[in-house]
Structure 1
């Protein structure tokens, strides 16, 4: 028990090797965050502004973009501050809040993608019942599910983590995540509760992934013999599948590296692997939807043409 301490501050060591090019990295990160804000807010404003886009698919897309803004807000501002600060520290409560935001952001992304897959399944496989199934009331319930379920599971995980006794204030990453904090626990037996909840959460979202894959497999099977359905699939389902693939690859790669990756890799490579899931999807997803969905593309072109006149 002599080595047990009550940590009030954490030291983030992921930036230790960036001293020589920290200013350049700051401006690059600032541009990246600006692009995230621009593409996501633009899509949100377009969907809210155009009443023709007040349909379940576009409302879910709007919710998706809001979550991208929520998740990146948990990373970029603190990271930008650290790039200009001599000491890379974060308070204990701030670390837990950051872990809560990033953890719930990832889970919510998966939930929204699952609801989007269900929406496309109904639209293509049961088109005559689409408006009755995807009613306003059901849409509200699905949006609430996609937000509240991940948030509640994350709150439970963070609460259990906050009860651990920690033996080190050093986090070898650019930001706080729940499983890294758990690794700092003094006594492995203390982590049993948080470990069980964490694995249950992983299992739940693995089933989300299976649901998405099965939904699109059924949709593809339905589209094979119909030219109209094939066109609808290419127009509305391909963006969802692309975004799901990007999200899945970045998150799985991050988790696999966290569990099994070598610590001997250069710090720059470790940093890239650590942040890719919160950097790449929030930029790529709105761009994919903006370029692929015809209604949104037409609205964007209409705005551009209006400004050039």
Structure 2
């Protein structure tokens, strides 16, 4: 490990990469294909929803926000990752590293808040169908989407402003991309403020949205058990893709937290890399496929657009 006597570093080195020879070109093509699929799938659904006025409803507008975030998050990872895979020296400048931390951290925060607001929207639609249009007005939708993006972007900016000035005693990050917690662990200076702010942020961006999600789904389940067959069918059709997206997101987040907070050196290197990237690669692929396949209205309009019938 390169030791730096309590100073700010100009670059970081990724310690999770290892020599895979010519296999790196195959890996490069695989991740390039992943990125292409993410771009095409999410852009297609954004265009379909924006182009069709029949889809200009709160549920679909929240989906647009979700798909835009998938594009944002994957763009914060994949171009950077592709360059690192093909490179022989896995270094990155400190400024570019903090830029990636900002993109990745903001992506995760926006994702969980967006999913929680979507659960609130489904709660109103299923539990209060007659009052839904008066409750979920266009003004309210605009405000919720604005808060979904504005709060994380400000919150993460504060996180970076606390991490960037830290005096570091090392510059090796044991991951394949930049991570704020990994940088803070390298600090020689006191990180009390970082830790306190991180704890407050964790409560706000994890426990807050998670509490809302649990509350809304408890209410939805209560209505389903006591409601009509038509109500249950509506709940299943609209909540299934959202629930699947939630499970996939928390599954990836769980492994990301485990790998950041605990020693996972006993696991094979390739498995550790896969688990660290699952959070940032599978969700942007999973969401457009899940919503595109499960929602018949979106599915039929996608076919029309692709085959030129629109």
Q: Is the 8 A contact 1:44 1:65 kept in 2?
A: yes
Alignment match of 1:252 (pick from 227, 251, 254):
254
Q: Tell me the alpha carbon deviations over residues 202-242 of structure 1, each in whole angstroms, 9 at most, x when there is no partner.
A: 11222211210220121111122211211111111111111
Q: Is the 8 A contact 1:247 1:277 kept in 2?
A: yes
Match of 1:25 in 2: 27
Distance across 1 between alignment mates of 2:91 and 2:258? 26
Gapped runs of 5+ residues in structure 2? none
Match of 1:192 in 2: 192
Gapped runs of 5+ residues in structure 1? none
Helix, strand or coil at the partner of 2:191? helix
Distance across 1 between alignment mates of 2:306 and 2:185? 51
Distance across 2 between alignment mates of 1:139 and 1:131? 11
Mapping 1:145-160, distance limit 5 Å: 145-160=147-162
Q: Is the 8 A contact 1:17 1:267 kept in 2?
A: no
Mapping 1:35-114, distance limit 5 Å: 35-114=37-116
How many residues are matched? 306
Q: CA deviation at 1:166?
A: 0.7
Distance across 1 between alignment mates of 2:277 and 2:307? 37
Q: CA deviation at 1:20?
A: 4.2
Match of 1:169 in 2: 171
Distance across 2 between alignment mates of 1:270 and 1:174? 10
Distance across 1 between alignment mates of 2:118 and 2:197? 26
Match of 1:209 in 2: 210
Tell me how large the CA RMSD over aligned residues is: 1.7
Distance across 2 between alignment mates of 1:60 and 1:262? 36
Match of 2:242 in 1: 240
Helix, strand or coil at the partner of 1:19? coil
Match of 2:223 in 1: 222
Q: CA deviation at 1:170?
A: 1.1
Helix, strand or coil at the partner of 1:10? strand
Q: CA deviation at 1:306?
A: 4.3
Mapping 1:252-291, distance limit 5 Å: 252-291=254-293
Distance across 2 between alignment mates of 1:293 and 1:49? 17
Q: CA deviation at 1:294?
A: 1.8
Match of 2:297 in 1: 295
Helix, strand or coil at the partner of 1:4? strand
Q: Tell me the alpha carbon deviations over residues 17-73 of structure 1, each in whole angstroms, 9 at most, x when there is no partner.
A: 433410110001100111111111111011011111011000000000000010111
Distance across 2 between alignment mates of 1:263 and 1:47? 44
